[in-house]
Amino acid sequence: MTVGVVILVHNAFDRAEQVIRHWVDGGCPVVVHVDQKVDQKTHDDFVASLADLKRVKFCKRHACEWGTWGIVAGTQSASVKLLAKFPEVRHVYLASGSCMPLRPVKELVQYLDSRPRTDFIESATTSEVPWTVGGLDAERFTLRFPFSWRTNRRMFDGYVKLQRLVRFKRKIPAGLVPHMGSQWWCLTRQTLSAMLQDPERQNYDRYFKKVWIPDESYFQTLARLYSGNIESRSLTLSKFDFQGKPHIFYDDHLQLLRRSDCFVARKIWPRADRLYKAFLSDDGLAMQGAEPNPGKIDRIFSKAVDRRTRGRPGLYMQSRYPNRDWENGVTSAPYSVFEGFTELFENFEPWLAKVTGARVHGHLYAKDRVEFDGRQGSFSGALIDNPILRDYNSQMFLTNLIWNTRGERQCFQFGPTDSQFISWMLATDPNAHVSVISGAWAVRLFQSNRNFADIRQEAAHLQQLENEHLSALRSPWAKARLRVWTMAEFIQAPMEPLQLIVDEMTGKTVRRLTEAPRMADLTGFGQFLQNLKNQGMHPYLMGDFPIDPSLINAPKKPRKPYLVR
C-alpha cells in the first residue's frame, strides 16, 4: 500500500516541480491542482516540465482565493482523481507547493503503513480553538460571507455587522457538528471516499460554500462523520503568526527543522536554496521512526508573536513607542527612590550600597548635574551627567537608565530641590519603590550658613514642592509602592524602617542590620523649626518635633562595665 499526495500550487512553480519530483521518487503518486488564477502560459510550462512523470496527474482547476470555497473544490477534484487513478493508494496526503518533506518519503510511508486506519486531521470544536483571526469562530458557520476579506474588507466587515444586528443565522445541516483545524491533513481512502461519495455531499457543499475559510472546516467537520479513528493533529508542521499568516522557514532554520522530526513543513521561502538542497537532494536523514516533535519550533514562533504583540516592557525605541497606559510596564525593572535619606544620614549612599549590593546613585535629577554613582561623568548606555540633556526628556532619561542596567537594581535620591519633571511618572510606575522621609530637606537649610529670611523663603518653596509631589504619589492613579514617614516619626526608631527597606530590596534577609548609617547632628533642629514658625512659616511635613533638643540628640549614657567571670 502506498501514500498518494494532493498538491495545491499557485506560485513558485520551479520549487513545486522539485517537490513533486521528490514525492514521486519516494514512490508516491501525485495529483496537482493549479490555481485557476495562474495564467495559461505559466500553467502549460509547468505541466510540460512534469510531462516525463507518469505518476503525476493534473486535475480540474478552480480559482482559489484565501478564505473561500475554491481551495476546497480544488482539493476535492484532486482527491477524486487520485483515488480513481491510483487504486493502490491507502492514505492521501494534502500538501502545497511550498510544503517540504523533511524526512525520507519512505519513512512517512512506513509510519502510515503501521497506522493503516488512522486519519491524521486536526479537528476541534469551535469553542476550543484559540487561533481564529478577527474574532470569527462560531460565526464562521452561521453567517454569510459574500464579500472578499482581502480586497473588500469594508464590505466584509459591514456585512458581518449587519447580520449580527439583525440576528441572522444560517442553519447548519442536520448531523454536522462544526469542527476546525489545520488545512493540511492526511486521510485514509475509506474516510476520504466516504466524504466524496456521500449522497448528501451536494447539501454539505452548498452549505460550506458560504462558510468563512471552509478549507479549515470542511474536511475537519466531515471527518467526524466517517472516520472511526481520528488522530487530531496535522503531520505537516505549520505555524501561524498573530495575523493568521503562516511563518516562513529560511536557510538558517535548517538545524531546527532537522531536529523537529516532522514529516512535512510549510511554508518554505522559495529562495531558501540550502533548505531545498538539504532536504530534497539526499532524501533527508533517517530518523528511525521518531515521533514528530515540533516543540522547539513552536517556542521560537510563539516567542516571535509575543515580541510583536507585547514587546519588551520598559523599552522605548524606533519600532516600539507605546501610547500612554499601553506600555505593559513603564520601566523594565523595579528600582528604589529615596527621598530625604541623604539629608538625614551623612553616609546613606555608601551604606545602602554596602548592605544591599545595589547601584546607588545620588540625586539623578539634581538641578546642577546628574549625580551618577561615584559622581561619574557618564553612565551605562553612554548617558551623560548634563542636566539640560537630561531634562530635555526626563522620563526617557529614567527609562533608558533602567533599561540599560537590566539585572542590576538601581537606587537614586530624589527631593524637592531636584527638577520635578518625573514626579508624576514615579507616581504611576509600579516598578518605583518610593520611600520618603517628609520634611528632611529642612536639615540642609538648618545646616546652611544663610540669612534666615532666605532660609524661610526657601523652606516655604521646598515644602510646597514636596507637598505637590506627595499628593501625586498618593493620588488614586498612583501605582508606585510608597512608604512615607514624617521626619519626626522616622528618627524615633530609624532602624525599623531601614530594615524594612533593605529586606524588601534584597528579598527578605534573615540577617539583622548590624551597622546603621550615621545620622546628622540635629541638636537645635527643633528650635530651628520653631524659629521658622515664629517667622510666620508653617513647617508641617516634618511632623511634630519637640523643641527641647535633649529629646532628639540626648547625650548617650556611658555604658556600665559588664564583666563575665
Partner 1 sequence: MVDNESDDGGTEYLKEQPDVSLWSAKGSYKKARFGVDWLNHLQRKYAHEHWTLVVDPDEFLVYPFCDTRPLRALTDWLDASSIKSFGAMLVDMYPKGPIDNIPYRPGGDPLDIAHWFDSGNYIINRNLQFGNLWIQGGPRARTFFANEPEKAPALNKIPLVKWNKEYTYVSSTHMLLPRGLNLVYDEWGGEKASGALLHMKFLSTFTDKAREELGRGEHYANSLEYKAYAAGLETNPDLWCKWSEKYINWRQLEILGIMSKGNWA
Interacting residue ranges for partner 1, rule: CB under 8 A: 241-243, 245, 247-248, 250-252, 269, 271, 300-301, 303-305, 307-312, 315-323, 326-328, 378-384, 386, 388-389, 392-393, 396, 400-401, 403-404
**Residue 316 beta carbon to partner 1: minimum distance, rounded to whole angstroms:** 6
CB nearer partner 1, residue 326 or residue 477: 326
Q: Which one, 401 or 502, has the nearer CB to partner 1?
A: 401
| Closer by beta carbon to partner 1, 10 or else 469 | 10
Of the pair 385, 466, the CB lying nearest partner 1 is at: 385
The least distance separating partner 1 from the CB of residue 255, rounded to whole angstroms, comes to 12
- Quote the CA–CA distance of 157 and 170 in Å, as a whole number: 17
Q: Using the minimum distance from each CB to partner 1, give the nearer residue, 185 or 379.
A: 379
The CA distance from 352 to 518, in Å, is 12
Nearest approach, Cβ of residue 98 and partner 1 (Å): 11
Nearer to partner 1, 269 or 421 (CB): 269
Q: Is 431 helix (H, G, I), strand (E, B) or coil?
A: coil
The least CB distance from residue 299 to partner 1, in Å, is 10
First to last CA, the chain: 98
Q: Which helix (H) or strand (E) holds 504?
A: helix 495-506
- Buried b / exposed e along 405-443 (16+ C-beta atoms within 10 A): beeebbbbbbbbbbbbebbbbbbbbebbbbbbbbbbbbb
Cβ nearer to partner 1, comparing 202 with 243: 243
Looking at the Cβ atoms of 244 and 546, the one nearer to partner 1 is 244
Residue 419 CB, nearest distance to partner 1 (Å)? 14
Rounded CA gap, 403 and 397, in Å?
10
Grid cell for residue 365: 535629577
In the complex with partner 1, the residue whose CB is nearer, 187 or 401, is 401
| Residue 161 preceded by cis peptide, ω within 30 | no
- 110-139 in b/e burial notation, b at 16+ Cβ within 10 A? ebbeeeeebbbbbbeebeeeeebeeebbeb
Provide the 8-state DSSP code for 168. -
Whole-number minimum distance, CB 391 to partner 1, in Å?
9
Are 472 and 480 in contact by the 8 Å Cβ rule? The answer is: no
Q: Among residues 255 and 471, whose Cβ is nearest to partner 1?
A: 255
- Long-range CB contacts for residues 193-200, cutoff 8 Å, separation at least 24: 193/83, 194/225, 194/226, 195/219, 195/222, 195/223, 195/225, 195/226, 196/76, 196/79, 196/80, 196/83, 198/222, 198/226, 200/173
HSE at residue 122, side-chain half, CA atoms within 13 A, is 18
DSSP structure class, residue 128: G
Q: Which is nearer to partner 1, 329 or 494 (CB)?
A: 329
Give the C-alpha separation, 135 to 157, whole Å.
11
Question: Which CB atom, from 229 or from 378, has the smaller least distance to partner 1?
Answer: 378
Provide the minimum distance between the beta carbon of 558 and partner 1 in the complex, in angstroms, as a whole number.
Answer: 50
Tell me how far, at minimum, the Cβ of 308 lies from partner 1, in Å: 3
CB of 324 to partner 1, least distance (A): 10
Which H/E stretch holds residue 225?
Answer: helix 218-226
How far is the C-alpha of 221 from the C-alpha of 205, rounded, in Å?
12
Which residues, listed in sequence order, are joined to residue 338 by a DSSP beta bridge?
413, 435
Read off the C-alpha cell for 546. 519637640
- The smaller minimum CB distance to partner 1, of residues 321 and 562, is found at 321
Cβ neighbours for 436, distance < 8 A, ≥ 6 positions apart: 339, 340, 470, 473, 482, 483, 484, 485
CB of 378 to partner 1, least distance (A): 5
In the complex, what is the shortest distance from the CB of residue 397 to partner 1, in angstroms, rounded to a whole number? 8
CA distance 51 to 169: 48
Return the number of the residue (206 or 299) whose C-beta is nearest partner 1. Answer: 299
336: which residues sit within 8 A by CB, 6+ positions away? Answer: 358, 409, 410, 411, 412, 433, 434, 435, 501, 505
Q: What is d(CA 166, CA 163) in angstroms, rounded to the nearest whole number? A: 5
C-alpha cell at 561: 562595665
Task: Provide, rounded to whole angstroms, the least separation between the CB of residue 468 and partner 1.
Answer: 25
Cα 233 from Cα 238, distance rounded (Å):
11
Minimum Å gap between C-beta 232 and partner 1 is 26
Q: State the nearest-atom distance from the C-beta of 108 to partner 1, in Å.
A: 26
**Could you tell me the maximum CA-CA distance found in the chain, to the nearest angstrom?**
111
